[in-house]
Amino acid sequence: MLREDVPYFDLTSRVMDLGGIDAEILFTPKSDLTVCGTEESEHIFSMLGAKTSLLKKSGERAVAGQTVLRAYGNAEQLHMGWKVAQNILEHFSGISTRTRAMVDGAAKARSTTEICGTRKHLPGIKHLSLKALCAGGGYPHRLGISDSVLIFSNHYDLLGGIETVCATLPDIKAKCPEKKVAVEVESLDHAVLAARAGADIIQIDKLPHETVAAIVAEAKAISPSVVIAAAGGINASNAEAYAAAGADVLVSSWMYFGKPADYKVIVRRV
Amino acid sequence: MLREDVPYFDLTSRVMDLGGIDAEILFTPKSDLTVCGTEESEHIFSMLGAKTSLLKKSGERAVAGQTVLRAYGNAEQLHMGWKVAQNILEHFSGISTRTRAMVDGAAKARSTTEICGTRKHLPGIKHLSLKALCAGGGYPHRLGISDSVLIFSNHYDLLGGIETVCATLPDIKAKCPEKKVAVEVESLDHAVLAARAGADIIQIDKLPHETVAAIVAEAKAISPSVVIAAAGGINASNAEAYAAAGADVLVSSWMYFGKPADYKVIVRRV
Amino acid sequence: MLREDVPYFDLTSRVMDLGGIDAEILFTPKSDLTVCGTEESEHIFSMLGAKTSLLKKSGERAVAGQTVLRAYGNAEQLHMGWKVAQNILEHFSGISTRTRAMVDGAAKARSTTEICGTRKHLPGIKHLSLKALCAGGGYPHRLGISDSVLIFSNHYDLLGGIETVCATLPDIKAKCPEKKVAVEVESLDHAVLAARAGADIIQIDKLPHETVAAIVAEAKAISPSVVIAAAGGINASNAEAYAAAGADVLVSSWMYFGKPADYKVIVRRV
Amino acid sequence: MLREDVPYFDLTSRVMDLGGIDAEILFTPKSDLTVCGTEESEHIFSMLGAKTSLLKKSGERAVAGQTVLRAYGNAEQLHMGWKVAQNILEHFSGISTRTRAMVDGAAKARSTTEICGTRKHLPGIKHLSLKALCAGGGYPHRLGISDSVLIFSNHYDLLGGIETVCATLPDIKAKCPEKKVAVEVESLDHAVLAARAGADIIQIDKLPHETVAAIVAEAKAISPSVVIAAAGGINASNAEAYAAAGADVLVSSWMYFGKPADYKVIVRRV
Amino acid sequence: MLREDVPYFDLTSRVMDLGGIDAEILFTPKSDLTVCGTEESEHIFSMLGAKTSLLKKSGERAVAGQTVLRAYGNAEQLHMGWKVAQNILEHFSGISTRTRAMVDGAAKARSTTEICGTRKHLPGIKHLSLKALCAGGGYPHRLGISDSVLIFSNHYDLLGGIETVCATLPDIKAKCPEKKVAVEVESLDHAVLAARAGADIIQIDKLPHETVAAIVAEAKAISPSVVIAAAGGINASNAEAYAAAGADVLVSSWMYFGKPADYKVIVRRV
Amino acid sequence: MLREDVPYFDLTSRVMDLGGIDAEILFTPKSDLTVCGTEESEHIFSMLGAKTSLLKKSGERAVAGQTVLRAYGNAEQLHMGWKVAQNILEHFSGISTRTRAMVDGAAKARSTTEICGTRKHLPGIKHLSLKALCAGGGYPHRLGISDSVLIFSNHYDLLGGIETVCATLPDIKAKCPEKKVAVEVESLDHAVLAARAGADIIQIDKLPHETVAAIVAEAKAISPSVVIAAAGGINASNAEAYAAAGADVLVSSWMYFGKPADYKVIVRRV
């Protein structure tokens, strides 16, 4: 990531002869947040030859004004790492802070509801996206499509609809006995079908929390161990309501997007 | 990017035996947009062994309902590429569409004002971010910090403030005669100082468009060839106003963030 | 993989001037087997500029003497690819053939018992190892340790033994509602404990098939949906017995090791 | 190699909250062996943030029960590295131990006979395979096909058989004056032909050690400096016999395959 | 770079058993030069497990006989790194020393003339080539073709010649307001055209310094801020003359080629 | 290599709108040479989406004015690939042409003398350097230090000088029976010592061809099969003399350096 921004050197520092100035750089959030990315940022300054002091680890909370990372070196080194470190901190602290808001929201209503982030993160940076998700108290919904079975409507529509798939669900389950099989549903009727067919997880797509509550009631009556996952439009403002509806898992892409967190960055002589 | 999501296979397709079904997949925007990412998405399906038909190239406009990419293959191949392709199309078409909105906005007021995207894209995916920026009619502000000289306040504060730097600007310019030297200013007074010192570019940080207009007037009176770049909070809703103020360049990170574009994806038997 | 064996050229072909001879190379198994690696081998010859003809795909069975891959080119190209292609075919067809033997063995006794390969493949070549496993009709037991929960004795011994873990199993399950939780047991008593605690999967380590049968009976009586996985010393010669014992999953590393399959390779003028 | 097994985290440790337990991990062979892979295993634990203590270097002998590597850290870190380190140690100590057995066997009969491993190691992990070979006292037969000249029957059959090649051997040797030229033979008659033609090395393929002894006698009578290499089916049980037959080099793939060495791994609180 | 030369080990050291000898290696220039590559060379010896002592950093001058790098270790380690380190030091010190000669030459006549290296370095090693250029006091002319605008004759010939391009220069400049636009000229007449059209930089190709002086005079009379870059056949022997002619920038590929610097390398017991 | 020069796009082509012009590019040597690099250059244009026509393969001779590569595409694509392709062609055709001059020179005196290039090529681009060497009719002296045994004075000085090493040469040879053992000598006396000790190759360092002739005579009298390699200052002007002296191998770094070959490059509308 450093090479993207600094393929060779900082031309501005060089023409201004900043290489001879001893300085420190401080990264300080402008508002309360859940930190993510201090380890990666520290690594960038280390590679550039600066000394570092990591004050808040990923996953810890920081209040506005509380410095999370310091680096010491010459001003050219610090300027080389500045923006890359800031970008990492701001983007991934944004994700972890939004995840934390969802986790805290859901926990108000139901302590065991988990917040799971989808595969709809930005392509190419899954690793840091999932780190930020976990730093905020969430879990990945699926690491990818090789590790779990989630039958979307696009799968069963190829085979004749949800009824057909429900009819063959026992066979499907026998092929992957170590996995829970999830079936996506878009209505209460379909949820009932899936519960009766023995789906391990019913993933509800884009239904209001009242309907989720109805599905929880009916599906768990049919199959007490069934897991109810709610997806589609879930975010920090409605996580509590969906958790209160009894969903075991809230599946969301909302935390991946939105404004980066805001960090104040200061470089000063030491 | 495929490996992130599909390290080995699509387990769902496999346990459902979708590999024997011939199908097609269609990617169709739900609203008008400027396309970005069809080439990369096509490449993903090609790697998976599917046949493809690219209907809109990056940079072209598509209207809602107009399919931009089709792939043909067995249903397992198509499901393997689905989400990665969709993610690429949605995120990068989002950037290109927002850039295009800024370009169109600015053009209403002043045809020569350029929209430039900052280095504040997501770390690790600069290449696609800049492609999307260009697809929308923008330019990169700086490719990185090795290729251009932009003296931020953090640079000159280390040396005693903008006055000190303005005093040494001729020396700095002599060291990089093939580059334009940009100086960041935060007030009209500073802009006047920079113009008098011979700055090639005055980059205005977070000032209202009325002040930008005033700076344009004063600075160009002092130095007719000076380039005025406005930065800080500029987006599609105010690009016209800043362009009307006479800025030559609008520098923004706004296009990199916000909701991904929305594509409808259909897989169906053929 | 080609670069490992052929960093620059084939010195023998070069000093013997074989570059001018048009030839073909044929890969033919010496005994019946389940093929794996023809796609990778074909790719190697293509990279070298040879034309190829893939006669058996990975996963297909071939009988002794039935050629699975042919390549045509000059004799220097063919010699450059020879040994790498042969190594790939022999090692990975060995894995797929041994897996197939286990799958066929288990199927004699119980059609729904799955053969799963462990993480104990050779480090650095997981991708081809899992491909060979699947080509033989098996599945990966776990893709890695990020995607599933398997509580080994080394985990619970840190916390005070299996009883302690069984006591907290509901809490553990609530943290990963989308995953089945597996508990490793080394005796019938422990299996009963785990079944009562609600383990989704009971993984039996190194017990004779008679004990497995007893565990199946007792554990399924307690928890009808529990999955029984048997591990430790399972191979083609005893897969049938363990399947007959009622295990749902046979977990093995046996297919990864042992003699490579034997292919006859002929290069001849055309 | 770590990423293969642990793309993100150890889910089991995470849901069991093992991250807060200070522990150590110990790797101890269950039988006497020649160690290989402690450096790579140590590196894995270091990357994970654990402290390490390397007690036996690759190439050293360890007796059953003698710990070769220790790492200290939190239990989550140790579980992340466990299986990858164990796999490396077991597979490559297996190769080095089998090589050592061949070296020791040959040395009983003839101190200057070298054990050389072929190019038939597993594709993709040549580097560690050759390290293990050397750790056991062997040498690579050929690093690849760019660095040496070995005329197999498949080479000379293209040109009309061994007689034709022997006739042109002086020309071939003149093209690579810095290399020894090896000719593969499958009978005593061919060996005599090759010796008379000036082959630097005669590589005997799949002949009993009695025939090897006869070839050594005849070929060295013709050409005293000729090197006799025996290949095909040579392993620890017959290395002594082939060395006693006078072969200068024993060429084998046998050490690359077979059961991995067995290490006991313990994780315990500290 | 180490792997290129030492894919596995140093066979000579191994058969001579040098691994048990403690030794040091010293790199000492045979003539005065500007050092480049000691950091990379030190890194190579560190990777090999040797201890190092870096006595001259890249960019510093060393006189003949003054050791710039020392490494301590066993003789096998030192021989493994020897030639790669020597190659790096010799090639890149050659570039930095030749660059320094041009910088010093130009400075005799005109202190503000910059020496810029072209993109015509060896492909694949741009990074070290530019490091050496900077170590010698030069700057990269262009990092690549994405970061700057230089209109060569091949560009304008496609559009109808220099007159056509000069007519559209204001439009071109408006599209890249943050960049200086350079126009290549091959005569005084063309230079005058370009200056009148508002070119920011006039790059003179292969004209004698007397003509350069004439162009400087005429072009700066037309456009005082225009930058004059001279290219084509410029080297240490004529840099002073071209600087005296008033060129602001001397563009050259000369420093990239020519004899490597000569270092004496000693390995001795310690 | 393309990314080094063109990380994103050709800014000049873009601001000049060259993307809409159909054009061809032609690479034509300005003097007779042995071509190297047309395959790599063709690949670059293919990656950029241009169509290509390779007229001379690496290793073929081209006369001045004879086009070796053509590519067709839009003018932006062609400008993106231009300089990288030109750099590859010029540098590596330079190496192959200089090698060819040495090969032809030596062949005048002695048809079996081989030209071998040393390991002193530029670090990081060994692969293309060796390709160019072979294209010119040469061979690599050593691919690296893992594949051959060459005892330099720095090796034997650690052990007490050439006499000590000669005394142990039989033991050294027994450890690597498949390799020829080379000993570097710096005088006739040393050559005689080495020949008597049984060195397979005597590598003469920096002695005049008259002394080489004397060494050839004496050494071959002692050991008829010994190979004489001459190194140090050998180039196209003296290759014939050294070959005439009877050296079997001429070892040189001379071909790697010196002026790149000169190609005329034309872009024109089609």
Q: pLDDT for A92-120, tens place per residue?
A: 999 999 999 999 999 999 999 999 999 99
E128 touches chain A (CB under 8 A): no
Beta-carbon separation of B7 and C143 below 8 A: yes
pTM recorded for the entire structure:
0.94
- Report pLDDT digits (tens) over A201-258: 999 999 999 999 999 999 999 999 999 999 999 999 999 999 999 999 999 999 998 8
Q: Which E positions 215-254 lie with beta carbon below 8 A of chain B?
A: 225, 227, 229, 248-249
What is the average pLDDT across E150-158? Answer: 93
Q: Which residue of C has its CA nearest to D9?
A: C146
Beta-carbon separation of C151 and D16 below 8 A: yes
Tell me the sheet residues that pair with F263. Answer: F29
Q: Which residue of A has its CA nearest to C110?
A: A174
Q: Which two tokens stand for residue F53?
A: 């026509």
Phi, psi of E141, deg, nearest 5: -65, -55
C147 touches chain D (CB under 8 A): yes
Beta-carbon separation of E180 and B175 below 8 A: no
Q: Do A125 and A237 belong to one domain?
A: yes
Q: Do E147 and E251 belong to one domain?
A: yes
For residue B158, give the nearest of A157, A265, A267 by CB distance: A267
Distance CA D43, CA D161 (A): 51
Contact B106, E174 (CB under 8 A): no
**How close, in Å, is residue E255 to chain F by CA atoms?**
11
Q: Dmax of chain B from CA atoms?
A: 74
Which CATH number is A211's domain given? 3.20.20.70
Q: Do F200 and F250 belong to one domain?
A: yes
Beta-carbon separation of B267 and A158 below 8 A: yes
Cβ–Cβ contacts within 10 Å for residue A41, how many? 26
> What subunits make at least 3 CB pairs under 8 angstroms with A?
B, C, D, E
A204 touches chain B (CB under 8 A): no
- Output DSSP code: residue C229: E
Tell me the sheet residues that pair with A260. Answer: none
Q: Do E114 and E32 belong to one domain?
A: no
Give every strand in the sheet of A51-54, ordered side by side.
A51-54, A69-74, A22-29, A263-269
**How close, in Å, is residue E203 to chain F by CA atoms?**
15
Asked if the model's pLDDT at residue E242 lies above 90, the reply is yes
Q: Do D234 and D210 belong to one domain?
A: yes
Beta-carbon separation of D9 and A134 below 8 A: yes
Q: Do A120 and A217 belong to one domain?
A: yes
Beta-carbon separation of A175 and C147 below 8 A: no
Q: B134 contacts in F (CB within 8 Å)?
A: 9
**How close, in Å, is residue F9 to chain D by CA atoms?**
33
Q: Do E96 and E201 belong to one domain?
A: no
> What subunits make at least 3 CB pairs under 8 angstroms with B?
A, C, E, F
Contacts across the D-E interface (CB distance below 8 Å): 7
What is the average pLDDT across B162-183? Answer: 95
Instruction: Give the CA radius of gyration of chain E.
Output: 23
> What subunits make at least 3 CB pairs under 8 angstroms with D?
A, C, E, F
**How close, in Å, is residue A177 to chain C by CA atoms?**
7
Distance CA E222, CA E205 (A): 20
Considering its fold, how many domains does chain B have in total?
2
Contact C85, C69 (CB under 8 A): yes
> What subunits make at least 3 CB pairs under 8 angstroms with E?
A, B, D, F
The residues near F76 (Cβ < 8 Å, ≥ 6 apart) are F9, F10, F13, F14, F18, F19
**How close, in Å, is residue D16 to chain E by CA atoms?**
38
* Helices F75-109 and F126-135: angle between axes, nearest 10 degrees: 50
% of chain D beyond a pLDDT of 90: 96
The residues near E138 (Cβ < 8 Å, ≥ 6 apart) are E99, E102, E103, E114, E115, E116, E117, E255
F46/D258: higher pLDDT = F46
Distance CA D201, CA D173 (A): 12
Give every strand in the sheet of C263-269, ordered side by side.
C51-54, C69-74, C22-29, C263-269
Q: Do B77 and B88 belong to one domain?
A: yes
Looking at residue E122, its pLDDT comes to 86
Tell me the sheet residues that pair with B143. Answer: none
User: CA-CA distances (angstroms) from residue D6 to C138, C144, C254, D85?
Assistant: 21, 6, 22, 12
Distance CA E92, CA E37 (A): 6
Looking at residue A264, its pLDDT comes to 97
Q: Which C positions 161-200 lie with beta carbon below 8 A of chain D?
A: 165, 172, 175-176, 179, 181
Q: B8 contacts in C (CB within 8 Å)?
A: 127, 130-131, 140, 143
Beta-carbon separation of D11 and C125 below 8 A: no
Q: A15 contacts in B (CB within 8 Å)?
A: 149, 172, 175-176, 181
Q: A152 contacts in B (CB within 8 Å)?
A: 12
Task: Give residue C172's identity as a one-letter amino acid code.
Answer: I
What is the average pLDDT across B174-197? Answer: 97
Q: Do D197 and D237 belong to one domain?
A: yes
Q: What range does the domain containing F53 cover?
A: 2-101+259-269
Beta-carbon separation of E175 and B114 below 8 A: yes
Beta-carbon separation of F7 and B140 below 8 A: no
Alpha helical stretches, state H, chain C? 2-5, 11-15, 38-47, 75-109, 126-135, 153-159, 162-175, 188-197, 209-222, 239-244
Looking at residue F1, its pLDDT comes to 86
- Report pLDDT digits (tens) over C164-203: 999 999 999 999 999 999 999 999 999 999 999 999 999 9
Looking at residue A123, its pLDDT comes to 87
Q: Dmax of chain D from CA atoms?
A: 74
- Report pLDDT digits (tens) over F137-174: 999 999 999 999 999 999 999 999 999 999 999 999 99
Q: Which B positions 56-85 lie with beta carbon below 8 A of chain A?
A: 75, 79-80, 82-84
**How close, in Å, is residue F246 to chain E by CA atoms?**
27
Distance CA C31, CA B216 (A): 83
Phi, psi of C32, deg, nearest 5: -60, 140
**How close, in Å, is residue E152 to chain B by CA atoms?**
15
Q: Do B210 and B77 belong to one domain?
A: no
Which CATH number is F36's domain given? 3.90.1170.20
D20 touches chain A (CB under 8 A): no
Name which of D75, D80, D79, D42 is nearest D58 in CA terms. D42
Q: Do E138 and E231 belong to one domain?
A: yes
Q: Do D18 and D49 belong to one domain?
A: yes
What is the average pLDDT across F65-77? Answer: 97
Looking at residue F150, its pLDDT comes to 97
What is the average pLDDT across B133-149? Answer: 95
What is the average pLDDT across B232-240? Answer: 97
CA dihedral C48, C50, C55, C60 (to 10 degrees): 0
Q: Tokens 């563009």 belong to which residue?
A: E251
Looking at residue A1, its pLDDT comes to 86
Looking at residue B209, its pLDDT comes to 98
Q: C143 contacts in B (CB within 8 Å)?
A: 7-8
pLDDT interval class at E1 (50, 70, 90): confident
Distance CA D201, CA D182 (A): 4
- Report pLDDT digits (tens) over B30-69: 999 999 999 999 999 999 999 999 999 999 999 999 999 9
Beta-carbon separation of E249 and B178 below 8 A: yes
Q: C140 contacts in B (CB within 8 Å)?
A: 8
Beta-carbon separation of D123 and C265 below 8 A: no
User: CA-CA distances (angstroms) from residue B269 to A159, B81, F49?
Assistant: 9, 16, 32
Identify the three-state secondary structure at position B53.
Answer: strand
Distance CA C99, CA C135 (A): 8
Distance CA E184, CA E205 (A): 7
pLDDT interval class at B122 (50, 70, 90): confident
